[in-house]
Amino acid sequence: GTEQDVARDSVPAWGNYVQSVRAKSQSDLILGNVKIEKPVLEHTDFPDSDLNGWKILGNAAFYNDYIVIYDAKYNRFGLALAKK
């Protein structure tokens, strides 16, 4: 879209520049009893068409407040509240 709150970037990747678009979601992200208000979502147009179509949340929603724990063996994740 052309909305004012949409950020567009051209970032280097694999020897080329790819286009990235990000904006706050229109609703909150709720994972169990954790509610993250309107996290930032991002889409990148990768040169490899097999990688396109992904909508990536990334880790920006978890900065400063949470630690993300990923269990690669069983393909699951969890959140822990970070100490302040």
23, HSE (Cβ side, Cα atoms, 13 Å): 12
Q: Say if CB 27 and CB 39 are below 8 A apart.
A: no
CB 18 within 8 A of CB 45: yes
Q: What is the pLDDT of residues 24-82, one digit of tens each?
A: 888 898 888 888 888 887 777 776 677 666 655 666 677 778 888 888 888 888 888 88
The pLDDT tens digits for 66-80 are: 888 888 888 888 888
